[in-house]
Chains A and B, each alone.
Chain A
Amino acid sequence: MNLMMLLEMAANGLEDRVAVGTRAEGLTYRQLFDHSRQAAVRYRTGNVDAAVICDESSPAVPVALFGAAWAGIPYVPLNYRLPADDLLALAHRVGSAIAVADETNQHRLNALDGFEAFTAADFTSETHLLNEPDLPEWPTDPEQVAVLLFTSGTTGSPKSAVLRHKHLVSYILGSVEFMGAADDEATLVSVPPYHVAGVAAMLSSVYAGRRIVQLPRFDADTWIDTVEQEGITHAMVVPTMLTRIVDALDARGGEPMLGLRALSYGGGKMPRPVIERALELFPITNFVNAYGLTETSSTIALLGPDDHRIAQYSDDPLEQQRLSSVGRPLPGLEVAVRDDHGNDLGPGQVGEIFVRGEQVAGEYQEQGSLLDADGWFPTRDGGFVDEAGYLFIQGRNDDVIIRGGENMSPGEIEDVVLTHPGIRDAAAIGVPCREWGEKVVLVLVAGPQRPESDEISELIRSRLRSSRVPSHIEFCEELPYNETGKLLRRVLRERYAALGDTPTE
């Protein structure tokens, strides 16, 4: 079981179809296969521990990913925006590597022992192709490590998640139909290579036979123009990207976009007003909300196109509410919700989400496997499953606010606030205070018609227990997100720490 098997099948079945790039100039599946072979020769000749990418998206990304699989070494994408010290600290943990890097990072990495860094163009250029007739077959051991992904470290120092060939191959075989894409389909990849969705996008597109078009630096206007000019049929975005796309389309006059057949989103909480507006601006697009983690080889649950449209047009509050859910688990994947003592909870009861399945890795280099004896992985995400089996996520357990001994998840407060038409984005945080241990501070981004704080408090009071009503409501221009769309609650807690000693409004 090796990722190369997926590419070999595509190369045999689709030969001359373009795998990555523009229809006129992109690499075909056969060329991608040949380049991956050359990359494997390079890795094996260099006898390195890892294949590193420290660069924005380019065709070198799938070449390195598959080349590493062929050579039997882990593919390790690093965040190319990291400050030098942070990058070098991660690189040290990798060992020796052949890297693809932009100019700045090339200099940094080449200064390290055991590192040899190329630009993406040099790495894939024909003139650098090496001849090595005796390259061995790729290893078939399913336990071989395929990818090491450093988690974003929003709560501490980055850990490296281990994904083995068996996890990623299971994920692809379980969720993608081989050659399922028509030959006019193309997917626009805007997430960076070091995001698990960036890895999964390469694998699932290759196996489906869907052409990959990469957008190295996301910008809403470029995204819209690329969709139109490149005949894009599929795209995946994180919530902050969709917010900007919706704004940009509205700024262009709010004309609906009709060419895009499927738009999936995930990687964080989607504000309700944004998804509702997006459903109007993409009136015939199939929307998919995907929930997944790095440790689970990407998507584990999804809310499909029909549920989106039903929610859009339904008068039934239950069906409308589904727009806030992440849908149902993929086939072959089990989801359980448990309380603090490990007891299984029933429908509607909030606890920690556990998952089990062949694609679930749940392993870090630093801590080893986090799976329990029965193979369940604790996601650290809180949430519940409704009567119909729809999964609702209410935020990281690390983000739980404990006020006067009562645990509350920021998500339940944010979900209520985001139903207000005047609110664009919301974050509830716990700020340490003497009286309550923590008190609730609600940070809001308002639309053109900014509501009064009292109105927001009243809305929360009408839907939730009074302990959920925030002590302070603060408005700001924009919430802090990292570049892959994760809300940086730590930054907010620091920014509003002084409110802990401020009397409640």
Chain B
Amino acid sequence: MVELKPGSKLQSTVCATEVMVVKGVGEVDLTCGGSPMAPAGTVEISGTPADGAASGTQIGKRYGTTDETIELLVIKAGEGSLAVAGETLDVAQAKSLPASD
């Protein structure tokens, strides 16, 4: 379990992935590469992502739960995949807005 707060940064413990919490509060069973995530900068990365939890994260993409209560922005990419309570998170639909400024 890890504490979520909008604006806070979390790191994977088994790959380079770092995320910023866009949406979501409280204690959540959030994993990356099959291992619980931790507040950024608190844990040395060791080991490798578990099998079946290694499809990778992409920088700049947003990942969310289907009920839209949790949304994470990947600020550093890695090899693990993100999951909440065992459910793998998908990339939120990319927006295709024209540049306005």
Contact = CB atoms under 8 A, between A and B. Distances in A.
B67 interface: no
A288 B100 contact: yes
B8 interface: yes
Contacts of B62: 173
Nearest to A1: B7
B94 interface: yes
A18 interface: no
Given A13-B59, A142-B7, A173 B73 contact: yes
Given A1-B20, A140-B7, A331 B95 contact: yes
Contacts of A177: 60, 94-96
Contacts of B20: 1, 5
A297 B98 CA distance: 17
Interface string B41-63: 00000000000000000011110
Nearest to A187: B99
Given A5-B75, A12-B59, A174 B99 contact: no
Main secondary structure of the interface of A (DSSP, over half): mixed
Contact of A262 (B61, B96, B98): B98
Given A5-B20, A177-B95, A299 B101 contact: yes
Contacts of B94: 177
B32 to A, nearest CB: 17
A178 B95 contact: no
| Contact size range, B | 20 to 34
A201 B73 CA distance: 21
Interface residues of A, number: 42
Contact of A178 (B6, B59, B96, B98): B59
Interface in A133-164: 140-142
Nearest to A300: B100
A288 B99 contact: yes
Interface string B80-96: 00000000000000111
A244 B62 CA distance: 41
Given A8-B75, A13-B60, A174 B100 contact: no
B60 A9 contact: yes
A302 B100 contact: yes
A104 to B, nearest CB: 29
A35 interface: no
A135 to B, nearest CB: 15
A268 interface: no
B98 A201 contact: no
A142 B8 CA distance: 9
Given A1-B20, A5-B20, A178-B60, A262 B7 contact: no
A296 interface: no
B60 A236 contact: no
B95 A175 contact: yes
A330 B100 CA distance: 11
Given A13-B60, A236-B100, A262-B99, A141 B7 contact: yes
B25 to A, nearest CB: 12
Nearest to B61: A178
B7 A166 contact: yes
A234 B99 CA distance: 8
Given A9-B75, A299-B101, 18 more contacts: A2-B7, A173-B22, A174-B95, A176-B99, A177-B60, A178-B59, A178-B60, A178-B61, A204-B101, A208-B99, A236-B99, A264-B101, A266-B101, A288-B99, A290-B100, A292-B101, A302-B100, A331-B97
25 contacts: A1-B6, A2-B7, A142-B6, A165-B7, A175-B97, A178-B59, A178-B60, A178-B61, A179-B60, A187-B99, A197-B101, A210-B99, A236-B100, A236-B101, A266-B100, A286-B98, A288-B99, A290-B101, A292-B100, A298-B101, A299-B100, A302-B98, A302-B100, A304-B98, A330-B97
